[in-house]
Amino acid sequence: MLSKRIIPCLDVKDGRTVKGVNFVDLKDAGDPVELAWQYAQQGADELVFLDITATHERRKTMIEMVKSVARQLNIPFTIGGGITTIQDAEALLNAGADKISINSAAVKNPALIEELAAAFGVQFVVVAVDTKLVEGKNRVHLNGGRLITELETENWIKKAENMGAGEILLTSMDHDGTKQGFDCKLLNRITQMINIPVIASGGAGTIDHFIEVFEKTGVDAALAASVFHFAEIPIPDLKQKLKYHNIPVRL
């Protein structure tokens, strides 16, 4: 049986992980490679690295980091942030990234999804969608929720699937950072609407939130950052609990 995936997300700036990370055994909490390795040892099924570097030199630094991660890591990982061209994606693929995640670039130029899928296969293309409820409608947002778009979330996700997205990473901006649980209502609607895997993101605060999202929705994976970084939820404990609730996990 296909396992439900647990995915820690790391923010990376200039090749270093940002946000406080509070791991007991970590020599260098800013080193994405060491952190990634630690997560793999704990039983993470996959990792997402989000590049938040804004400078022009960003690409080179990121490629070097991706190569270091691929050398060390024996689980799959996704790179997101600032990918706007086929060339960006190809450089990451050749450096060992298993998937790339695109967000704003896809909204601005939906044909990019099609081009990436044709060039590298649908399995390589994750479309990340940030959504927020505005006047009763789920609307796609950009720039970490600061910029609203015309797009309705459900329509955009359907379109992304049709254009060749291999997976959807759906972040509820209303839930993100609240630690009050995932947006199960929306996630359930989305998973019933499309036929590609969905990663739930935004709102994880407790182990029960993970159980809830897997029991109440058809999502394939759940992503979180701070609850893992600050060791509030140790991944082995989380997986044991999920297994106890008959949710298929990799132990």
Residues that bind other proteins (CB under 8 A): 1-3, 5, 40, 45-46, 67, 70-72, 74-76, 93-96, 98, 120-124, 166-167, 195-197, 220-221, 250
Q: Which of 31, 45, 130, 176 is catalytic?
A: 130
DSSP three-state, residue 204: coil
Alpha carbon distance 161, 186 (integer Å):
17
Closest separation in Å from C-beta 250 to other proteins: 4
CB of 181 to other proteins, least distance (A): 23
**Rounded distance, CA 100 to CA 104, Å?**
13
| Measured distance CA(96)–CA(27) in Å, rounded | 25
The helix or strand, by DSSP H or E, that contains position 63, with its residue range, turns out to be: helix 58-72
Between strands 137-142 and 5-13, the pairing is unpaired
Distance in Å, CB of 91 to other proteins, minimum? 10
Residue 130: active-site member: yes
Q: Report in angstroms how near the CB of residue 167 gets to other proteins at its nearest.
A: 7
- Is 25 a catalytic site residue? no
Give 116-182 as a DSSP string: HHHHH-GGGEEEEEEEEEETTEEEEEEGGGTEEEEEEHHHHHHHHHHHT-SEEEEEETTTTTT-S--
Question: How many CA atoms, within 13 angstroms, populate the side-chain half-sphere of residue 223?
Answer: 24
| Closer to other proteins by Cβ: residue 12 or 73 | 73
Active-site amino acid positions: 11, 130
